[in-house]
Every structure is written in C-alpha cells, then in structure tokens.
Structure 1
Amino acid sequence: MTTPLLISLFPFLLLIPALCFSICHANSNVLCIQSEREALLKFKNHLIDPSNKQSKLEGKINPSLLELKHLSSLDLSNNNFSSIHIPKFFGLLESLTYLKLSQAQFHGAISHNLGNLSKLQYLDLGGNDLKSKSLQWVSGLSFLQYLDLSSADLHKANDWVQWIFSLHGLVSIDLSDSSLEGPIPDYFGNISILEVLDLTRNSLNSSIPNFFLSDNQLQGTISSAIGNLSSVTYLDLSENQLNGQIPLSIGQLSSLELFDVSENQLNGQIPLSIGELSSLELFDVSENQLNGTFPLSIGELSSLKYLDFGYNLLEGVVLETHFSNLTRLTTLAASHNRLRFEPNSSWIPPFQCERIELGISDVMPTWFLNLPTQFEYLNLSSNQLRGEISYLNVSNFVDLSSNRFIGPLPRVLPTLLVLILSNNSFSGSLFELLCNSSSRKWMVVLYIDKNLISRNIPDCWNHWQGLDLLNLGSNNLTGKISPSLWHLNLTMLNLRNNRMFGELPSTLQNSLHLVMLDLSENHFSGSIPAWIGDKLSNLAILSLRSNNFDGHIPHKICDLQFLQNLDVAHNNISGVIPKCFNNLSAMATTNKTNNFVFATFVVADFFFLNALLVLKGREDEYGSTLGLVTSMDLSANSLTGEIPKEIGSLVGLLSLNFSGNLLIGNIPESIGNMELMESLDLSMNRLNGEIPPSFSNLNFLNHFNVSYNNLTGQIPTSTQLQSFDNLSYMGNHLCGPPLTKNCTAKGIPTDIANNGSSSEGRKVNSPYVSLALGFVMGFWGVVAPLFFIRSWRIAYYRKLDHIYGKLYVFWATMGM
C-alpha cells in the first residue's frame, strides 16, 4: 500500500535529494518512486531562498507537484510568492486533505478550481491579498472542517452565508478582515457542531444573530436563543453596539471556554448562571454599563484564567469567597467600578496572578504588597490609593499613576520594562532609583511626571541603554542636564515645568532618535542651537516654551522634515521669522498620520506619546491623537520684520500664534490658503493694512485674534470671521460686522472718514482737550515702558496671556 505524501515548505525541507526519501513516506525504509523524486527536484529547483535561512521562499511553483499522485498535505505558508496567483493546477491535486497557503503573499482572484478538492478537510488561505466575487466554489468541499479566508476581499461575495453554511461539517470558520458588508442574513443552516466563527473587523451592521461577531457594528440585544449553541467554545461579541442584558441562557453553553462582550453598551447584572460554565477560561465584560453586585457564582469557575469586569457600574463589596476556587487565575482586572475589596488582612489569595488591575479606595492593602508570588503586570492607576510603597515585586509592567502615594520612590526589580508613577505625591530624589539599584538596561518606559521629586537629575544613566520614553516633567528638579543622559537612545524626553537651567549641552546631538523633546517652563538659556536641525532629524515635537532662550531662530530648524509641533513662545528670541519655514514638510501637508505609538512587545501594551500643547489660548494634553495635531507658536518674543508670505505654504497647520512680537507690514494673503486652520493669533504686533479677503477661506477657525495692531479697513465677509466678538478686533481701525462701527463705500471706518468734515467737529473744547491730554499722558506713562523696556513687555504679555486663558476657560464653561 502506498503511503500518502506530505510536503511542508516551512521550514524548507527540500534542500538535498536525500531528504526526499524522508518526506515521501511515513515509513522511512520505503524508497521514493523515481518519478516522484524527480518531480520533487523540479519543484525545488524553481524555488529561491534569498535569505539562505530556509524561510520566506520566493520563485515559482512548478506543476511537477501533479506527478505526486498521493500528495495529501501541502503547506506553503509564510513564504513570499508576491508575484503569482494561487496556481490553478492545485485544483487537480485530488488526494489533498490539507492545504495551507496562509501568509504567503499570494494575490489575485481565488481560483474556483479549488472547489474540485473534494477530499479537503483543512483549507487556510488567510493573510494573503486575495479576492473572490462568489464563494460558490466552496460547495464542492463537502468534507471541509476548517476554513480560513481572513484578509481576503469578499465585499462582492454576497452569497458567502449561503455557500459556507451549506457545509455542515465545518467546525471552524475565520472570515475576519474580509470586507464583508451589510446586514447578516437570517439563514445560517445547521451549525450545531460549529466551535469557532470569527467575523471580526468587518462592516456587518444588523442585530445579533445566534452566534458571535466582534468588532463590527452590531446593534440590538443578545438573543436568549444563544443558549442553543451547545457546541460553541469561543463566543466573542466584543466592540459592537449591543445593549440590553446578558441573557440567563448563557449558562447553557456547557462547552464555552471564552466569553467576551467587552466594549458594548450592555446593562443589567451579570447573570448568576455564569457559574455553570465549568470550562470557561476567559470572561471579559469590561467597558459596558453593567450594574448591580458582582455574583458569587464567579468563584465556582475553577478553570478561569482571565477575568476582566473593569470600566462598569458594579458596586458593593467583593469578598474572599468570590475568588475561593479561582486557583488558575492569571489576570484579574476590576478597576473603574464602585466596588470595595475588603479581604481579611491575613488572606492569602488562592491564585498566582501575572496581571492585575484593581479599583481600590484605601491605603495600599498589606495582603497585596506581601503576596508571595511575583506579578508580571500591575495596574492600579486612577484610584484613590494612598500611603507609601517601599518595594514592588513586579517583573514587567507597573502603573500606579493618578493616586495619592507619598514618600520616596519604591524599589523595583531589575527586569522591569515599564514604570509609570505619574500624578502622585512621591518626593525625595531620583538617586536611589537611578543609581543605587541593579542594572536597568531592560527598562523601556519611565514616567515619574507630576510628582514632588526634587534636587538634581543624577548623572548615572550609563546602564539604562534600553530606555525609550523618559518623562520627568512637572516636578521640582533643578540643576543642569546630566551629561550621561545623552548616552540614552531616547525617543521622548520630557523635562517640562521644573527649575532646571543652563544652556543645552552639545551632547544632546547624540540623541539621534528623539521624536519628542519638551524642555518648556524651565530656566534654560542661551541660543537655540543650529545642530537641533542637523542632528535631531526625527523630531516631531519641539517645545522650548517659557525659558530664557535668546538669539535668532536658526535656519537649520527648517530641515526638520517630520516637525509637527514647534513651540518657542515666551522667550527672548529676536530677529525675523525664517522664510524657509515652508520646508517643514510635515506642516505643509494635509495628509496626517497618527504614528506616535510605541509598544513594549513583551507585555503587549501600547503607549502613546503625550504632550501638553497650548492651542486656542489654553493648555491641553494630547495623547492618542497627538499625531494629528500640527501647531507653531512663536508668541511673546521680540521677533521683528514682516510675516513671510511663505508661511502660507504650511497648509497642514491647525494652530498658528505669532502674537506679542514686534512684527510689521501687511498680513500675507497666503495665510488664507491654510484652510485647515482652527486657531490663528496675530495680536499685539505692529501689523498694518487690511485683513486679507482670503481669510474668508478659513472655514474651520474657532479661535481668532488680530487685536492691538494698526489694521484698517473692512473685516472680510465670512461666516467664521463674523462669529468672533469685538475682543478679537479691538485696538485697530477696523469696521464692519461683527463690529458696530460702519464702513464707508471705500471700506473706511465712518469715524475716521468724517474726522474734520464738520464745523462742529473743528471747534476746540478745552475740557475735552484736557481730558484727552490726561488720557495720553496716562496711557504713555504705562505703555511706553512696554515698548522700550523688553523685560517689562515680556512679563506683561505673559500675564495677559495667563488672564486671557482663564477668561477663555470661564467663558467656555459658562457657554456649555
């Protein structure tokens, strides 16, 4: 009897002819038939191994495989056949029971000839660039049990339900990322033995049928008929728009191992019948509106490994008995509820969690800190925990942000990858954490911002080679920047809002991978070095706001092709605005990509760069959307000359602020090209002429200020420009709506046009002369120093900006 052939090209086994004998037959003592041996050699000779590592093979697939009459299993997955279609002759390999072509970069239409493989039980075409207008061809695969068409383009295959569910032997179906659209038909045939159905990341939009779909746009309630799917082991309804309650019939799914309804709008209580799911390993109901108490029946799920009921409205006390039988639990997430966890102080948990997220409003519990096991992941952020922490027995990830912890920074394990202690009241110095501990070469993220840390930043960063993101902002740090800090290969450095001083050290040039540099609100001085544009070519965010920098803006800044946010406001910078700003290509494009994401792959958590930006007169924090924001703020300096017309090329800017400088000349007409602009502030300069008519194109403006210049003429007719109040225009000679001052036919304010035109107006009235003289003397007694004493002017502008910000928040709040 001839033994069936099995061929796998991952790894690549066809390296030498001798190996042919071992793969031809299960019995290695039986030699290959000569014709089959030659067929395999032909097949091998048409393949290319560019990496010489037996992976990612390229080349052509030779039809010599047809000579292998007993070939039953063919695996060409994880290769690079990007230039070819799936060969049509595959449909002639009539002995195949197993065909795996996933992640092989095949492209084009799926050959209908595959429907001729009547013995096929396993078909995996997932992860390729394939498409099909109809799935009628699958009807010939009557023995098929496993089908994977994930990532194929099936948006024209309106018959997918009809043909796929005609295959009553299917146990697993994966149609994720397949561009399926529209409502889900009511007919699904006989799917009583189906265990896995994955339709995630499509555009299906009907009410929920009697099976599971995640990450679509499903609406309505979960039918109680879902209890009839007794063979289902994997039930995923996450990331939809489902409402109503979790049906009590869920307890009838005796084979269920995974239950995920996270990120919906479900309400009501968690049904007690959950405790009947003895095989359940994952239970995730997070990010819903579930209320009531947490059921004690959860404690009966002895197989449970992953439990997440965070971000709901659950209330009451969580007892030790809730966890009595959860001996296999590795992940516990329960934060952002109204629960109280009050175990006995001597309680020893029966589980050994690797990952824990809890919501606790109390002193850090003793039982928690004294757990004998080591966590991998600990997230207790955004609670009201207080007290001191001396040591954290966590190996990978710690987030204690937004609590009330005090005292010195805790000691941590040398294996820790992520440490986030933001927004607490930790005090003392950084010395113990940075210098008197084991090597920190593995740490990737260190956030200690918004605390009470003081003294200098220690000069002992030599062993922190793996650090990517460092945020020490909003503390009481002082001194100069540590020289060894520039040994790090940082992506982000945030030292804002401290008391640091000195010039920027030239060693900063070594931080070639910096994407974000925020040194704002300190006492740094000297000129902005030209090498920032030369060496830090990856910068996307540069904030030097509120320091003592002087000199000119270096033209090398224009070489920063990725720069999206430039803030040098509130300094002592002089000179002209560089015309080369039009070379800042990331600001000159309207196509924005939100790519400010960094991941620690070991713990599979994503970190968004976050930055404080001053836009629209107020300071806000941007995180996940930071990559979509573009801004330039040069306000409150001593910049002179005209606004270069080249600024109008920065059509991607959302915010532009040149206020509080000594700029002269007309406002460039080209600024009207910046049609995405939401905030524009040119106030408190010496600009003259008219507001350009092109400003009518700025349809997205919601913050606008040209006050205190020498502007004249009529305000351009535009819905947006007429929507701002008088404060945006005061201190000029403007007329027309929204101002009450009318314009003449020539666009001149009536009070100026009529000046000296009547005999009454020419009469001298001594009381008014005295009043006018008094006003002039008083006015210049205050204003003249602002023009001639630079330090007074900067302080005044800062104060005015601060008051304006408060007023803006007040008005915005009152208007809500």
Structure 2
Amino acid sequence: MGNFKSLQFLSMPRNWYYIEGRIPSSVWNLCNLHVLDLSGNNLRGEIGSVGNLSGCIGKSLESLDLSYNQLTGHIPNWLGQLKSLKHLDLGSNSLYGPIPSFIGNTSSLIHLYLDYNKLNGTLPESIGQLSHLEELSIGSNSLGGIVTETHFANLSKLKTLDMSSNSFVFKVNSTWIPPFQLGYIGMGSCIMGPTFPSWIRMQKSIYYLDFSKARISDTVPTWFWNLASRISYINLSDNKIHGEISNIILKSETVDLSSNCFTGRLPRLSPNVSELILSNNSISGPLSPLLCKKTDEQKQLWILDLSKNLLSGELPQCWMYWQHLIYLNLGSNNLSGKLPSSMGSLISLRSLHLRNNSFSRDLPSSLQNCTNLEFIDLGENKLSGNIPSWMGEKVTNLGALRLRSNEFNGNIPLQMCHLTYLLVLDLANNRLSGAIPPCLDNISTIPTNGSLIYGYASSYSRYSSAIFEENLILVTKGRESEYKRILRFVRSIDLSSNNLSGVIPSELFSLSTLNFLNLSRNHLEGKIPEKINDMKLLESLDLSRNHLSGEIPQSMSNLTLLAYLDLSYNNFSGRIPLGTQLQSFSALNYIGNPELCGAPLLINCTENKQPGDAPSVGDNEDHNEMTWFYLSMGLGFVAGFWGICGVLLFKKTWRYAYFQFLEDKIDQLYATVVLKLNWLKRKLKKNQVGG
C-alpha cells in the first residue's frame, strides 16, 4: 500500500466480511493522500503510531474516516498535527481514554465524530477553539464533568451538537447567549435542570431536540411551545416537567413527553404529527377530543402511546381517521366499555396494547380486518366470550398474543395452530376449558430471527439510536417482569389458572426453543413424557396444582438451563431423579405429592420401592414419630403461651393480682438478699477482729 506514492483518494468502506486485521502502517506514508475512508470494515487493534508527519500526510490529509470498525486504544497524539484535517470520524469503535486536549490544534476541523466508543474523562476546553467546527458528536461514551460557556467560546459555526448518553453537567449562566445557531441538539442524559434551559430560546433553526433524562423539574415556558412548532423532533421524556398541556397544539413530527408530571386533558394535534408518546403522566379525560376532530388533511400519525395515564370513558368510533396507525398503546388507564367496531379500520396496525383497563364484552369481529397485527395485548380487562377463530385464520402474523386475566371461556381454538410466528402465548387466568390442542407444536417452526418487527425506528434514527421498542409484561419464573430489548429472544406459553383438562399433549414437549411453560392450576392429568428432554432451552416449568401422576422423568435432570420448577400438589410418585438440577430446588417445589420421595424432600426412598407402593412400616413410624414430636411441641408452646398471657390479657382483676404477686415476690427476694449480705459482712468483720 505504501508504494502508491501519488495516491490521493483511498476509499474502501463497508467491506465487513472481506477487510479485517490491523491498519497497515504503510498507509500513513502516503504523503499525497487527501481522503482515507476505511469505515464499516472489520479492522482491529490500535489506530497506529507514526513518526514526524511534517511535509507528508500531515499537510495533505483532509478527511479521515475509520468509523464502524473494532479499533481500540487511545486517540493517537499525531492526529493533532493534521492541520489540513476537516473531517474526522472515529465513531462506533472501542476507543477508550480521554478526548485529548490537542484536538484543539486541528484548527481546520469541520466535522468531529467520536460517538459510540468507550471514551471517559472530561471534555477539554480546547475544543472551544475549533472556530470552523460545524458538527460535534461525542454521544454514547462514558464522558462526564462540568460543561461551561468556555467549551463553546468560538464555535460560532456549530450546527450539530450531540452530547447524549454521557454524564455531563451543563452549567451556563441563565443569561448566556450562545455564539451558534444549532439545528440538532442531542443532550439526553446530560444534567440540564432543575430549571428549563432558557438559552435554546435564541436557537431559531432547531429541527431535533433531545432533553430526555435531564433532571428538569420545571414547567415548560410558554415561549417554548411557539418554538416547538418549528421543531420536527422533540424528546423531553424521563424528567419531572409539570403543567397543563390541554390548550397546546402539537405540530412536531415526533413528540415524546413520556414519564413526566403533565396534567389536564389531551392536547390537540396537527395532521403532520407522526409519533406521539405521552405515556406515564397524569393526563385525564376522554379520548374523543384528540381522535374525533375531522380535518381535510390526512392524518399521518403512526405511533400513539397514551399508556399509564388517567384517561377514562369509552373508546370513540373515530378510528377510521387514523388508518396510518402502526402502534397503539392505551394500556393502564381507566377506559371501559366495548371495543368499537371502527377499530377494524386500522388496516396498518401491527401492535395493539389495551392492557389493564376495564374493557368488557366480546371482541369485535371487525378486528379481523387488521391483518397486519403482530402484537395483541388485551390482558387485565373484563373481556368475555370465546377466543375468536379469526386469530389464526385472518390474522396469521401474530408474534405475541396476551389475553391474560379476562373472562374468556370455551376451548382454545384450533386455528391458533396456524400462528407459526407465535413467540408468546399468554391465555392465563381465564375460564378456558377442554383439552390443550396438540397442534400447538407448530410454533416450533419459528426462526430464531423471525420476520416479526420488535421495534420501530424513529424518523431521525440516522442521527441517534432512538428506537421505539416493543414491550410485554409476562409472568415468568414465578414473578412478573417487563420484557423490552430481549423480547425477541423470548419463547413462552402460559395457560395457567383455567379449567383445562385431559393430558398434556406430548407434541408440546417437542418445542425445543421454548423458554417458559406454565400449565399450573388446571385439571390436567396423565404423565410427563420422557421427551421433555427435547426442551433444551427451558428455563421455567410450572405444572403445579393439577392431577398429574406417575414418575418424574429421569430426562428432566438434563434440562441444564432450568432455573424455576414447580411440580407441587399433583399425584407424582417414586424417586425424584438424581442430578444436581432437580436437587437444587426447594422441597416446597415438590410438596403435595404424598408418594414422592428423595432429595430435596425429607422422605427417604427404600431401594426396592416401586412407584405407587405404600411407604414401609419403618419409614412410616419414623416419619410419624417426628411429625407428632414437632406437632406436640408446637401445640404445647401455643397452649402454654396463651394459657397464661391470654388470661392476663383479657381478665383485668387477674392481671392486677398477677403483677401484685410478682411485685411481692421481688420484694421478698430483695429483702432476703439484703439480709444475707448483712450477715456476710458481720461474719467477715468478726473473723478479722478475732484474727
């Protein structure tokens, strides 16, 4: 490479599978090189060190792009000698250490990208001397410290500033007038509060604003909403901003005000709003003012999240105006009534979250028109009737179906076996009856990276990592957990707390990718088949409170990922299979199976005991003796305790008599001790005189 002495332009980006290894040191000997672009490859190691650059590459190089590799080490000192450098991109690597102060020597620099590395330390004040700098991106590192006006002293041409996902403390004077006019402001996770930053009032060209997780606990000033009408992306989430937004007209394409303290009614929207996220506030009132205002312009809204608020009333019949909706989340409000038939107009809808409300009656048949649905979460409501067969007939792309804690009855429809992309099936805590369909093993055909979309990229994802993530609340391993980023890796079936009967289909145990299986609190019978060994990825298994019988299969001891197991209150018999896996659980996980023996239970198994045999006489005697011993000891303690304390507690005269008796005895004991001590003193004195 070093032989190309006249080479001026070297660009080999995005060859991840073909270009790897270290950057050859001969590259830095190309004295006429103006542009070097090795981005998007598989380059490793440090950037490299070079000798004296004067008269060589130091004078010619104008653009250096090594982004999206796996480079490590510090930012090399020789970069400070590149006086002609205008574009420097080292982003998306694994560089560590501080941003060196010599970065201020690269006086011609226009673009500086150091984002998505492992840089630490503070921001050098010398960066404020880069008077030609237009774009500064240092987000997603481990940088911190105080940032003041000095850091921006001469940055009059700055247009893009991304400091997000660091730990900076932004301390500027309340009267500070910045020397720049920014278009992109990314300061998520930087401490800006507690007051609302007033300096942005002077910024007339903003199109992207991220003040999320900035510890702002102020009200939004009136002037901001006038400024916001010109901003395309606004993110003020995860602060403690308060005040009413009832009379605000939101005009930005993306508005995220989630996890704040906003109150009042829902704001009004202009037709060009595409993403509205107001979850986790205290917004009250009905939905109709937001949804039912008809305009001549077509609505562009495709993400609407109003979950975790105080919204009330029934859903209006206005959904025909919102046919671009892809994601709808109204969960955890006080909404009620029947789901309106107009929801069938949401033909683009992929994700429907209505959990934790008071919706009732059966599901409208018009929902079968929403053939693009991939997520349905209607849990914790009062919905009733049969689970509709169109789930599997018309809507075939479902990846998650959560109908938990409703009043659905009837059988599990066989059409569900057509849901070959299903990752999560949660029908727990309903009134379902009949047998478990054997054909549910069809979901084992799910590819590891299925076609299901788990998150929706923001319109501005090219400037940030902002992804609107899918989420589900699931009961796994005996507790309720919220799954977000790892949801794509979850495989779960929960049919617990129903009236299901019959045997567990052996086909169900061929689901080799299943992580969580809960069939507890039903009327299931029969045995656990040996082929349960095929469920290599099983982490949680709950079959408790059924009528299952027979031996626990020896093959269960090979389920090495099993972290939660509950087989209690069944009719299992014989020895618990030996192996560290099954013995690691508590005896409570096996309780309620009278004929089960072996560790971790205290009931020993005899060598010749067969499944179903009664315990031996010796075992029974030992077990009965111990049982009666502990029982009598406990009863004796309770009887003695309440026999004395109970009477004293409720019988006033006896209580006085008892404490008077104690006082007399204490006085007697005191008098006896005093007399004995006086006698002893006289005795000692007499002996001394006689001596």
TM-score by length of 2: 0.83
In 1, Cα distance between equivalents of 2:97 and 2:21: 30
Matched, 1:197 2:43: no
Give the structure 1 partner of residue 662 of structure 2: none
One-letter amino acid matched to 1:310: S
Matched, 1:311 2:165: yes
Matched, 1:295 2:148: yes
Matched, 1:583 2:439: no
Give the structure 1 partner of residue 130 of structure 2: 277
Matched, 1:513 2:379: no
Match of 1:474 among 332, 357, 363: 332
State the secondary structure of the residue aligned to 1:427: strand
Give the structure 2 partner of residue 610 of structure 1: 471
- CA-to-aligned-CA distance 1:560-608 (integer Å, 9 cap, x gap): 1111100000000000011111112345x66668842333547655322
Unmatched segments (≥5 aa) in structure 2: 633-691
Once the two structures are overlaid, the 10-residue window that deviates more, 316-325 or 435-444, is: 316-325
Give the structure 2 partner of residue 61 of structure 1: none
In our comparison, the structure showing a higher alpha carbon Rg is 2
Matched, 1:416 2:273: yes
> Any conservation in 1 of the 2:530–2:553 contact (CA below 8 Å)?
yes
Unmatched segments (≥5 aa) in structure 1: 1-135, 209-221, 772-816
In 1, Cα distance between equivalents of 2:170 and 2:109: 28
- CA-to-aligned-CA distance 1:54-78 (integer Å, 9 cap, x gap): xxxxxxxxxxxxxxxxxxxxxxxxx
> Any conservation in 2 of the 1:521–1:546 contact (CA below 8 Å)?
yes
Give the structure 2 partner of residue 626 of structure 1: 487
TM-superposed CA distance for 1:174, in Å, is 2.1
Give the structure 2 partner of residue 573 of structure 1: 432
One-letter amino acid matched to 1:226: L
> Any conservation in 2 of the 1:234–1:258 contact (CA below 8 Å)?
yes
One-letter amino acid matched to 1:406: T
Change (3 A) 1:744 1:615: same
> Any conservation in 1 of the 2:426–2:494 contact (CA below 8 Å)?
yes
> Any conservation in 2 of the 1:225–1:249 contact (CA below 8 Å)?
no
State the secondary structure of the residue aligned to 2:596: strand
> Any conservation in 2 of the 1:270–1:290 contact (CA below 8 Å)?
yes
One-letter amino acid matched to 1:679: S
In 2, Cα distance between equivalents of 1:495 and 1:760: 56
Change (3 A) 1:250 1:185: closer
> Any conservation in 2 of the 1:315–1:340 contact (CA below 8 Å)?
no
Give the structure 1 partner of residue 111 of structure 2: 258
In 2, Cα distance between equivalents of 1:306 and 1:552: 58
State the secondary structure of the residue aligned to 1:584: helix
One-letter amino acid matched to 1:611: L
One-letter amino acid matched to 1:349: M
State the secondary structure of the residue aligned to 2:380: coil
Give the structure 1 partner of residue 282 of structure 2: 425
TM-superposed CA distance for 1:333, in Å, is 2.1
> Any conservation in 1 of the 2:229–2:251 contact (CA below 8 Å)?
no
Matches within 5 A, 1:51-200: 139=3, 142-152=5-15, 161-162=24-25, 164-182=27-45, 184-187=47-50, 190-192=56-58, 193-200=60-67
- CA-to-aligned-CA distance 1:309-347 (integer Å, 9 cap, x gap): 2333333643355542222x1111223233336579799
- CA-to-aligned-CA distance 1:147-188 (integer Å, 9 cap, x gap): 222233675776862554443222222222333345555458
State the secondary structure of the residue aligned to 2:185: strand
State the secondary structure of the residue aligned to 2:109: coil
Once the two structures are overlaid, the 10-residue window that deviates more, 470-479 or 438-447, is: 438-447
State the secondary structure of the residue aligned to 1:648: helix
Once the two structures are overlaid, the 10-residue window that deviates more, 335-344 or 747-756, is: 747-756
State the secondary structure of the residue aligned to 2:254: strand
> Any conservation in 2 of the 1:594–1:628 contact (CA below 8 Å)?
no
Matches within 5 A, 1:220-235: 222-235=75-88
- CA-to-aligned-CA distance 1:366-404 (integer Å, 9 cap, x gap): 332232751101000011111111314433110011111
State the secondary structure of the residue aligned to 1:268: strand
TM-superposed CA distance for 1:453, in Å, is 0.6
Match of 1:436 among 289, 293, 310: 293
Q: With CA pairs under 8 Å and 6+ residues apart, which has the higher RCO, 1 or 2?
A: 2
In 2, Cα distance between equivalents of 1:637 and 1:758: 36
Once the two structures are overlaid, the 10-residue window that deviates more, 453-462 or 147-156, is: 147-156
Change (3 A) 1:426 1:759: closer
Matches within 5 A, 1:646-657: 646-657=507-518
Change (3 A) 1:665 1:758: closer
State the secondary structure of the residue aligned to 2:253: strand
Match of 1:666 among 527, 532, 545: 527
Change (3 A) 1:471 1:365: same
In 1, Cα distance between equivalents of 2:522 and 2:190: 50
TM-superposed CA distance for 1:407, in Å, is 0.8
Change (3 A) 1:344 1:202: closer
Give the structure 2 partner of residue 86 of structure 1: none
State the secondary structure of the residue aligned to 2:366: helix
- CA-to-aligned-CA distance 1:632-659 (integer Å, 9 cap, x gap): 0000000000111101111111100000
> Any conservation in 2 of the 1:243–1:266 contact (CA below 8 Å)?
yes
Change (3 A) 1:236 1:598: same
Give the structure 2 partner of residue 378 of structure 1: 234
Give the structure 2 partner of residue 118 of structure 1: none
In 1, Cα distance between equivalents of 2:314 and 2:272: 26
Give the structure 1 partner of residue 503 of structure 2: 642
Give the structure 1 partner of residue 602 of structure 2: 740
Change (3 A) 1:180 1:261: closer
In 1, Cα distance between equivalents of 2:471 and 2:507: 30
- CA-to-aligned-CA distance 1:402-456 (integer Å, 9 cap, x gap): 1111111111221011000111111111111101253552111001011111001
In 2, Cα distance between equivalents of 1:759 and 1:692: 29
Change (3 A) 1:486 1:286: same
One-letter amino acid matched to 2:520: S
In 2, Cα distance between equivalents of 1:689 and 1:339: 64
> Any conservation in 1 of the 2:517–2:541 contact (CA below 8 Å)?
yes
Matched, 1:465 2:326: no
One-letter amino acid matched to 1:170: L
Number of equivalences = 616
In 1, Cα distance between equivalents of 2:166 and 2:47: 29
Fraction of identical pairs, as percent: 43
In 2, Cα distance between equivalents of 1:508 and 1:749: 51
Give the structure 2 partner of residue 754 of structure 1: 616
Match of 1:236 among 86, 89, 92: 89
In 2, Cα distance between equivalents of 1:293 and 1:463: 48
In 1, Cα distance between equivalents of 2:620 and 2:573: 23
RMSD (CA atoms): 3.1
Change (3 A) 1:183 1:520: same
One-letter amino acid matched to 2:479: R
State the secondary structure of the residue aligned to 1:180: strand
Change (3 A) 1:673 1:345: closer
In 2, Cα distance between equivalents of 1:223 and 1:160: 14
Give the structure 2 partner of residue 340 of structure 1: 193
TM-score by length of 1: 0.70
In 1, Cα distance between equivalents of 2:601 and 2:623: 24
Give the structure 2 partner of residue 454 of structure 1: 312
In 2, Cα distance between equivalents of 1:671 and 1:759: 36
In 1, Cα distance between equivalents of 2:365 and 2:337: 17
Change (3 A) 1:319 1:608: same
One-letter amino acid matched to 1:465: Q
